Amino acid sequence: WDRTTFLEQTCLKAGLPKHTFQNPRAEIYKFTVDRF
């Protein structure tokens, strides 16, 4: 997948329209998880 496809699929998984990330008011956060 390229970056656009990844973001589209992430939006769909969250129940949002796939182009939501392109909205200028959209905020994208990055986080990490330590899973045990």
pLDDT, mean of residues 2-24 = 97
How far apart, in whole angstroms, are the C-alpha atoms of residue 35 and residue 23?
32
Query: 20-32 pLDDT, tens per residue?
Result: 999 999 999 999 9
pLDDT, mean of residues 6-31 = 96
CA dihedral (1, 27, 32, 17) in degrees, to 10, reads -40
Position 36 scores a pLDDT of 94
